Amino acid sequence: MKKLLFVLLISVAVSQSAPAQQTLRYTVWADGVLNAQLPKSNLYGLGAGLRAEVSKPLRTSKSALFAQVGYTRFSEKAAFTANIALLNAGYRYQARKAFSASIGVGAQYWSERMRVRFTDYTIDETFTNVLPSATVGLGWRFKSRYHVGLENRLLVKPERGRLPIRDNVALSLGYTL
């Protein structure tokens, strides 16, 4: 059910962006991702991912609305590997020529594989969850088509009456087609 919901969300986002094709910009991002909670929860360390972004400049051209779909994988630190599909939509403000700041909201679909090998027993389980997310980012553009971005991704995972937060930081390189 969660998977279906996620696919539907992506479909809606893609279909909504199509009619405005004339003014749209397409950017591809390569992300290096770090679990910012390493001192607190070191199940994950580093990950990497890709995002495809479509953005539409607003009237002032200093700002734009964007929508992103992407994939991230946290490589195995010890027991856990995570494959993540993400959907994010937000607003980006371009200050002068180079610097930008963005905020976004979205959701991430996490498929986490846990493997623990005891001497007598091996545990191999997969957990799947859809986590609401919020992002705050800073960017720097150079040579008009290239970008460097730093983004903080906050994820909320409701659990037994609590709302634990997962915090990931992405350092990204982007290229606008």
Partner 1 sequence: MTTLKTFALFASIVLFGTTVYSCQSNGLEVNPDETIGALPPTVIDPADNPRTPEKVALGKALFYDPILSGNKDVSCATCHHPNLGYGDGLDLPIGVGGEGLGNSRRFRSPGVIPFTKRNTPTLLNVAFNGIDAHGTYNPVTAPMFYDLRASSLEAQSLLPIAAFEEMRGDVFTEATAIDSVLARLRAIATYRESFRTVFGGNTAITAQNLGKAIAAFERTLVTNNAPFDRYRRGDASAMTEAQKRGMVLFIQNGCTTCHSGPMFSDYKAHVLGVADNDKLGFSDKGKDNKYAFRTPTLRNIALTAPYMHNGKQQSLADVLTFYDRVRDGEQLNPNVAVSQLDSLLRPRVTLSNDLIEFMHALTDNSFDKSIPSQVPSGLPVGGRIQ
Query: Which residues are near partner 1 by CB under 8 A?
Result: 28, 30, 39-43, 47-50, 71, 73, 75-76, 78-81, 114-122, 124-125, 127, 159-160, 162, 164, 175, 177
d(CA 55, CA 44): 31
Q: Which is nearer to partner 1, 18 or 177 (CB)?
A: 177
- Specify which residues 156 forms β-bridges with: 165
Tell me the closest approach of the beta carbon of residue 58 to partner 1, in angstroms.
Answer: 27
Q: How far is the CB of 154 from partner 1 (least distance, A)?
A: 16
CB of 35 to partner 1, least distance (A): 13
Tell me the Ramachandran region of residue 160: left when phi exceeds 0, alpha when psi lies from -120 to 50, beta otherwise: left
Q: Return the number of other C-beta atoms located less than 10 Å from residue 153's C-beta.
A: 25
* 19 versus 121: smaller Cβ distance to partner 1: 121
Nearer to partner 1, 152 or 176 (CB): 176
Distance in angstroms (rounded) separating the CA atoms of residues 147 and 139:
7
Give the shortest CB-13-to-partner 1 separation in angstroms: 20
| Minimum CB distance to partner 1, residue 30 (Å) | 6
Both tokens of 147, joined, read 């970008």
Residue closer to partner 1 by CB (options 96, 120) is 120
Residue closer to partner 1 (CB basis): 137 or 174? 174
Residue 73: partners with Cβ closer than 8 Å, 6 or more residues away: 47, 48, 49, 81, 82, 83, 84
CA–CA separation, 40 and 84 (whole Å): 21
